[in-house]
Structure 1
Amino acid sequence: MKKWLQAYSKRLEDERNRSAATVRSYVSDLNDFIAYAEEQGVKEVRELRSNHIQAYLSRLKQEGRKTATIARRVVSLKKWFRFLTIERAIEYDPTLQIESPKPERKAPLALKQTEMDRLLESIDPANRQGLRDRAMLELLYATGLRVSELIALNIDHVRLDMGFLTCTSPGGRERMVPVGSYAASWVERYAAEARPQLSREDKPEQALFLNVFGERMTRQGFWKTVKKAAGAAGIGAEITPHTLRHSFAAHLVENGADLRAVQEMLGHTASASTQIYQTPSGLKVKDVYDRAHPRARS
C-alpha cells in the first residue's frame, strides 16, 4: 500500500496550487489509515473494503477525535481511492458509500443575563450618540433582530404604541416582531431627544437610527458601538452585534419560551436553526415542568 501512497503523494506535489502543507496533511491522514489497515491484516489496496473504512472511522470517533478531524480524514480517503480507481489499482471504490460526518451544531456565544445588564448599562445616554447607542442595543436585545435588519429600520417600521415593529429578513420575507415596553421607552426617548439633533434639514433621511452625519447607521458603525460597550462593561469575551441576537434567543428558551415562537421572532425558516439553543444544560427542565404540569405541585 505504501507504494501507492508514494505515487499519490508525487501526483499531489505535481499539481499546481497545491501547497506543501496540504500534501503533508493528506499523506499524514493516509499513513494513519494504512497503519490501521495493516493492523487488521490487510496488505494490498485491492483487499480494502468499505467495512475497513467504516471500522477505521468508528475507532477515530471512539478515540474522541473531533468531527472536523474525522470529516477531513474522509476527504483524504475519498481522494486517494479515486486516484487508485483512475490508476486501475482497484476495481471498485470502497468510499462511494462513505458519508462525511455532519458538523456538530453548537449554540453560539450568548451572554449571561448579568453580563447583558452590564453591557446595556455601560452606555452613557447623556449625549445624543450615547442615547442612540443605548436605544439600538436595547432594541436589538429585546427583539433578536439581525444587525442588518436593525439598521434597515425606518421610522414607519416601528409601532411602539402597539408594541411591535416590522422588518424584512434577508430572504425578503416580512415579519412582525414584538417590542417590550422597556426597549420601547428607550427608542421613544431617542426619537424625541437625540434623533432630531442627528438629522439634517438639507438631507432628509427615513432611517430610524442615524450617524453623526445624519445618514443611516452602518454595520461597521454599530459594530464599533458594541465593541466599545463590551470594553466598558469589562466583558472579556469577543462579542459582536450577533451576540445580542443569540442572547435574546438563549434567554427566552432558558426561561421556557416555545421554540416555535422563538423561531418566528428570529425569522428562521428552518426549525433546526433555532433548536441549537435547546441544550440540556440551558433548559431549566424542572422549572418548566413545575410551571406547566397541572399536578406538578400539591
Structure 2
Amino acid sequence: MKRSLQSFVEYLQIEKNYSHYTIERYQRDIDEFYLFMNEQGIDDLKSLEFQDARLFLTVLHGRNLSKRTIARKTSCLRSFFKFLMREEIVKDNPFSLVSLPKKEHSLPRFLYEEELGRLFSSIDSTNPIGKRDLALLEILYATGARVSECCDIQLNDMDLTLGTVLLHGKGKKDRYVPIGEYARLAISSFLKDGRGALLGSKKSHSTLMVNFRGDPLTPRGVRYILSSLMNKAVEGSTLHPHMLRHSFATHLLNNGADLRTVQELLGHSAISSTQVYTHVTKEQLRKVYLATHPRA
C-alpha cells in the first residue's frame, strides 16, 4: 500500500506536474482512506469493492464535512484507483460508480477596498518582519497569486524596473503579471532593508519570501501571517490567502476590467472559473441598489 501511494505521488509529480501543495493534499486524503481500511480490517487494495467505497463516504458524511470536501476526497480516490488500474495493481476501481456530491455554489469571500486600506495601514513596516509582511500582502493583492505561487517566487522572477513578476502556476503554466507602484515600493524596501536581515550571514537562497528564521516561507506560514495581520487590524477576524485573490479579481471587474483579462491574470484555464466573480459584482450592485434607490 505504501509503495502504491509512492508510485502515485511520483506520477503526480512527473506526469501531471501538480504543485507540492496539491500533492500533499492527495497524500492526506489517501492516508485517511488507508486508516479507514485498517479500521475495517481490509489489508489489500485488490479486495476493495463498491460497498467499501460507499461506506467510506458514509463515514465522511457522518463527520459533517462539506459537500465540496467530500467531492474532493472522492475525486482523489477515483484518480488514485484509476492509476492503480493503469499500473495493473488492481483490476477494478471501487470509486468509479460513486457519484460526486453536488457542489455548493457559494460566492467567494472578498475584502472591500476600505477594509484592505485598514489592513495595509495596520502594518508597522519599520522593521524587517513588517517590511516582509507588507511586501507579502502587496504581492498577493497586486497579482492575485495563489499562495503556492507566491511562495515559489524567486528573486530572478521579479523585474521591478518593468513592474512584472513571473508566477509559476498549476501544471507548470507560467504567466507574467504586472505589479503596481505600491507593490514595487514595498518589495524594493523589503529587498533593501528586510530580507538580508532575516536571512542573516549563514543562509543564502533565491526564494523571495522568507520566514523569521530566513528559510523560504511556506503556504502554512503565509496563512498564519495573514491571520495575525487581520486579527490585529480587525480583532476577531481572519484572512485567508484566497480572499486576497478573490479581492483582486472582484475589484478589477468592479472597476471595469474585462473577463478575459482577469482570466489571464488569474491563470484560469477555463473562463467558467473566472465567471464566478461576475456573480460577486452583480450581488454587490444589487446591495448598492437596495441601499440607495428611493423605491428599492
TM bracket (short chain): 0.5 to 0.7
Partner Cα distance (1:211, 1:235) in 2: 24
Cα RMSD after superposing both structures: 3.4
Report which of the two structures shows the higher radius of gyration computed on alpha carbons: 1
- 1:213: how far off? 2.0
Whole-Å Cα distance in 2 between the matches of residues 17 and 183 of structure 1? 48
Cα displacement (A) at 1:122: 1.5
* Aligned twin of 1:187: 187
What secondary structure does 1:165 align onto?
strand
* 1:125 positional shift: 1.0
Aligned to 2:131: 131
Matched residues in 2 for 1:106 and 1:16: separation?
A: 31
Inter-CA distance 283–262: structure 2 relative to 1 (3 Å threshold): farther
* Distance in 2 (alpha carbons) for counterparts of 1:18 and 1:252: 43
Tell me which residue corresponds to 1:141.
Answer: 141
Structure-2 residue corresponding to 1:159: 159
1:282 equivalenced with 2:284 (yes/no) = yes
Gaps of 5+ in 2: 1-50, 62-66, 68-98, 289-296
For 1:20-59, what aligned pairs fall within 5 Å after superposition?
none
* Residue type of the alignment partner of 2:249: A
How far apart are the structure 1 equivalents of 2:250 and 2:200? 39
Q: Equivalents in 2 of 1:152, 1:261: separation in Å?
A: 23
Q: Structure 1: how far apart are the matches of 2:176 and 2:112?
A: 26
Of stretches 228-237 and 267-276 in structure 1, the one that deviates more from structure 2 is 228-237
Flag the 1:175–1:202 CA change in 2: closer, same or farther, 3 A: same
Kept after mapping to 2: 8 A contact 1:169/1:267: yes
**Using a 3 Å threshold, how does the CA distance of structure 1 residues 202 and 278 change in structure 2: closer, same or farther?**
same
Task: Within 5 Å, give how 1:200-211 maps onto structure 2.
Answer: 200-211=200-211
Task: Please give the alpha-carbon distance, in whole angstroms, between the structure 1 residues aligned to 2:178 and 2:242.
Answer: 19
- AA aligned opposite 2:150: L
| Number of residue pairs matched by the alignment | 204
Q: Please give the per-residue CA displacement for 1:262-286, whole angstroms capped at 9, x wherever unaligned.
A: 11011110101100000222359x9
Query: How much has 1:105 moved relative to structure 2?
Result: 3.1
3-state SS of 1:166 partner: strand
How far the C-alpha of 1:191 sits from its partner, in A, is 0.5
SS in 2 for 1:150: helix
The residue that corresponds to 1:233 in the other structure is: 233
Q: Any residues of structure 2 matched to 1:108-123 within 5 Å, and which?
A: 108-123=108-123
Q: Deviations over 1:142-184 (max 9, x none)?
A: 1100111111111110101101111110211110001001111
Q: Could you tell me how far apart the structure 2 residues matched to 1:145 and 1:109 are?
A: 16
- CA distance, structure 2, for counterparts of residue 241 and residue 201 of structure 1: 30
CA, structure 1 residues 201+18, in 2 after alignment: closer, same or farther (shift >3 Å)? same
Aligned partners of 2:160 and 2:183: how far apart in 1? 9
Secondary structure of the residue aligned to 1:277 is helix
Looking at secondary structure, tell me which structure has more helix per residue.
2
Residues 1:270 and 1:236: Cα distance change in structure 2 (over 3 Å): farther
Residues 205 and 214, structure 1, Cα contact 8 Å, conserved in 2: no
Deviation sequence 1:72-110 (CA, Å, 0-9, x none): xxxxxxxxxxxxxxxxxxxxxxxxxxx999535333100
CA contact (8 A) 1:105 1:276 kept: no
Shift of 1:121: 1.6
Residue 231 of structure 2 contacts residue 237 of structure 2 at CA under 8 Å; is this kept in 1? no
Matched with 1:54 is none
- Return the offset for 1:117: 1.2
Specify whether residues 17 and 218 from structure 1 end up closer, same or farther in structure 2 by C-alpha distance, changes over 3 A only. Answer: closer
Change (3 A) 1:181 1:101: same
Partner of 1:198: 198
Amino acid at match of 2:242: H
User: In structure 2, do the counterparts of structure 1 residues 283 and 180 end up closer, same or farther at CA, with 3 Å as the change threshold?
Assistant: farther
Instruction: List, as ranges, runs of 4+ consecutive aligned residues in structure 1 with deviation greater than 6 Å.
Output: 15-19
